[in-house]
Chains A and B, each alone.
Chain A
């Protein structure tokens, strides 16, 4: 716990300093064209850029501890309000994308390991090598072209909140989720297959077969859990990445999540918002990594003994 808090403090300092490193005076980027020097000075005062770095950090951190992420320089809306609106969207996408990626990767990974060189493995390997260098947004663009423009089955604009119309919401979610899941799925299959093949070499798997257990039971009950370490570790990283960083996919599908917010905030030089999102992403990573650490003993009781 102490380590967690220490990391948080370090992250907060790093986040704060990061923006200090950005070249130029933050006010310069904010000022509208043709703004007077007087207005510039007013803004400098308003946002406290005339104060020392330490003073500003302390006051920023103080506000932060009170849950105040500041007010957007651009929209004048509290940053916390905007993030609260957008975080659930990114979270939903991330969770659905993860679920889809895992739902595909687990059976395919298991089967590829069970029958290496079999048809499933060959198809998966082919797709993996074909898409290895393809970023998520290329998949997104292809999906939009096929399902949105050519077939017209799915919407390519507009985000309908679930509360408003669940069906339309799902329709709006499908393509972005597939785009996000695609690359991760390939990664998951590779990881799972590798670990699974190693597990299947172990004697207890042979023994399970020797005792006449059905194949599915051996693969799922005996081998999967033991082979999911890498998968769980990487899943933690991936879901963190998806929550905070589905930037391009969110931009392509115009999804009001954190990814598109950070782009707008950067474009508008709304650094107080950028700062908050960076901090939040770091926090999400920290929490997820801790959760992954907590998950290890559940996966393998031996870890519990090793760490305690």
Chain B
């Protein structure tokens, strides 16, 4: 989940929202996971799914994070998150258990073979994970790899020791560490492994037109009995969101994904399956709390009161509900008592004047970063800056900045305010990394012991109620401290034709391919 991916999501969402502002639909937000029990799966058939990204490499090390859907199909995943049950289930792995959340035992299924005939065993897993440490692979697994060690106990068993307790570790077994390629093939093929992958997943490559489409066929030797259901699955690249939906409507594809909420609103009444995946976080205004000026809580309160969320939503995200807290209204984790500071220009001015008096200043200049490659992001930044500049004596200057520069400024903590994407992930671990004191994604320099404690609970506890309570605390504290003022919640939406079943909506806008079936 590179910054780039988040950026493109924000941009697409904004572009689409602003171009179709006129056709605001009054349909309700699609509810998450509307499919589950949709009949008895049927064997056979094929389907086409259109995808945003163009696929250039099928290497397990590269696609596990950025092209998850294809890795899930070619390599399978060690663990599989079931959206319906809200928990992980075994997939390529037979089990993954831990008594303390720190030491994990990963057991593989016996007899699993890669399609080149070599065994899918503990050594293979260890080899793949070791390989991910190569910086040139640009793997996203670094976060996990740097805090874990592992040893091969027997051919089917690995013992993983984490630096600290983390019951959310299975997320890594689904995504960053989940795709295992044949070590023999990786060693033998070198660079060619990217185009001639060998895995043990539910499908194998049949034909591939790089950059356009890849057709997979069923792997008869797939380890999960009875899976996959489909004989064939084709992933076609369709870069434009409108185009993906056009193709779905024209019957040229059966399944597609988008992060534009409006398509869900449009297509649900037309009878399409709309599977929304709620995500943590969203797009918003980030504050660098380490900046000597922004560090002042009164000043931040002034800025937050000057921010007019409904106005921005109407301009850039028509049809959406303006966010008023870290968790949206329908979230079970929301603490109804705590919301973001409300738009109140008088209060903003009062707080700002007090800040000036306190610091002996007569005026204040601030800088606000926004992503320069996207004109629409600049426009959003302009709206926000104009809102903040309603405060007399304050001048916020918008600095459209290139992505790479923004990442460096974030890393070095050299910014004041930024229009940016925060968390945007299905995994609670990403929230942890973003909001925990010293977290690797915590660009805000945010530190709140109560949040740290609660976040610890979310990964340390196995008690669902306890975890839910902890999330409430996190939501309330973040909505109060506001290191990031969200102005748009984000979600992924999978759109399916009527005859498509078994959609397990997981993040990175993919459905578990082995579970899909069709009745056409």
B246 touches A256 (CB 8 A): no
Q: How large is the interface on A (under 10, 10 to 19, 20 to 34, 35 or more residues)?
A: 35 or more
A46 touches B239 (CB 8 A): no
Report if A20 contacts B (CB, 8 A): no
A124 cross-chain contacts in B, Cβ below 8 A: none
B54 touches A148 (CB 8 A): no
B4 touches A267 (CB 8 A): yes
A155 cross-chain contacts in B, Cβ below 8 A: 252
Report if B151 contacts A (CB, 8 A): no
Partner of B246, one of A25, A85, A149: A149
Of the candidates B138, B236, B249, the one having the most CB atoms from chain A within 10 angstroms of its own CB is B138
Report if A100 contacts B (CB, 8 A): no
A31 touching B239 in the complex, CB below 8 Å, given contacts A75-B62, A75-B194, A256-B54: no
Q: How large is the interface on B (under 10, 10 to 19, 20 to 34, 35 or more residues)?
A: 35 or more
A148 touching B250 in the complex, CB below 8 Å, given contacts A36-B146, A46-B136, A76-B194: yes
Min CB distance B426 to A, Å, is 15
B408 cross-chain contacts in A, Cβ below 8 A: 24-25, 28
| Interface window among A103-111, A157-165, A281-289 | A157-165
Partner of A74, one of B57, B236, B239, B243: B57
Q: Which of A1-44 contact B (CB under 8 A)?
A: 22-26, 28-36, 39, 42-43
B246 cross-chain contacts in A, Cβ below 8 A: 144-145, 148-149, 156
| Interface window among B303-311, B397-405, B464-472, B483-491 | B397-405
Instruction: Map CB proximity to A onto B383-408 as digits: 1 under 8 Å, 0 otherwise.
Output: 00000000000000000011111011
A39 touching B62 in the complex, CB below 8 Å, given contacts A29-B407, A72-B56, A75-B194: no
B252 touches A159 (CB 8 A): no
B441 touches A33 (CB 8 A): yes
A157 touching B142 in the complex, CB below 8 Å, given contacts A256-B209, A256-B212: no
Q: Which of A79-138 contact B (CB under 8 A)?
A: 82, 85-86
A34 touches B4 (CB 8 A): no
A29 touches B404 (CB 8 A): yes
Instruction: Map CB proximity to A onto B1-12 as digits: 1 under 8 Å, 0 otherwise.
Output: 111100010000
B247 touches A264 (CB 8 A): no
Report if A71 contacts B (CB, 8 A): yes
B404 touches A77 (CB 8 A): no
How many Å lie between the Cα of A155 and that of B50 in the bound state? 13
Residue of B nearest to A151 (CB): B250
Report if B211 contacts A (CB, 8 A): yes
A34 touches B135 (CB 8 A): no
B3 cross-chain contacts in A, Cβ below 8 A: 33
A76 touches B236 (CB 8 A): no
Report if B195 contacts A (CB, 8 A): yes
Residue of B nearest to A159 (CB): B212
Report if B59 contacts A (CB, 8 A): yes
A71 touches B191 (CB 8 A): yes
B8 touches A267 (CB 8 A): yes
How many Å lie between the Cα of A28 and that of B4 in the bound state? 11
A268 cross-chain contacts in B, Cβ below 8 A: 4
How many Å lie between the Cα of A104 and that of B408 in the bound state? 52
Q: Which of A247-297 contact B (CB under 8 A)?
A: 251-252, 254-257, 260-261, 264, 267-269
Partner of A32, one of B59, B138, B146, B239: B138
A32 touching B142 in the complex, CB below 8 Å, given contacts A75-B62, A76-B62: yes
B142 touches A36 (CB 8 A): yes
A77 touches B403 (CB 8 A): no
How many Å lie between the Cα of A255 and that of B403 in the bound state? 26
B135 touches A252 (CB 8 A): no
Report if A78 contacts B (CB, 8 A): yes
Instruction: Map CB proximity to B onto A158-199 as digits: 1 under 8 Å, 0 otherwise.
Output: 111100100000000000000000000000000000000000
Q: Which of B200-215 contact A (CB under 8 A)?
A: 207, 209-213
How many Å lie between the Cα of A159 and that of B207 in the bound state? 12
B250 touches A149 (CB 8 A): yes
B249 touches A149 (CB 8 A): yes
Instruction: Map CB proximity to A onto B48-89 as digits: 1 under 8 Å, 0 otherwise.
Output: 101001101101001001000000000000000000000000
A62 cross-chain contacts in B, Cβ below 8 A: none
Q: Which of A31-79 contact B (CB under 8 A)?
A: 31-36, 39, 42-43, 46, 71-78
The 7 closest A-B pairs by CB, nearest first: A256-B211, A24-B404, A29-B404, A159-B212, A34-B440, A75-B57, A42-B135
Residue contacts A-B, CB under 8 angstroms, 19 given:
A23-B404, A24-B407, A29-B403, A32-B142, A34-B433, A34-B440, A35-B142, A72-B56, A76-B59, A76-B136, A158-B213, A159-B212, A252-B243, A254-B213, A254-B237, A255-B212, A256-B212, A256-B237, A264-B53
Name B's A-contacting residues (CB within 8 A).
1-4, 8, 48, 50, 53-54, 56-57, 59, 62, 65, 135-140, 142-143, 146, 191, 194-195, 207, 209-213, 234, 236-240, 242-243, 246-247, 249-253, 401-405, 407-408, 411, 433, 440-441
Name A's B-contacting residues (CB within 8 A).
22-26, 28-36, 39, 42-43, 46, 71-78, 82, 85-86, 141, 144-145, 148-149, 152, 155-161, 164, 251-252, 254-257, 260-261, 264, 267-269
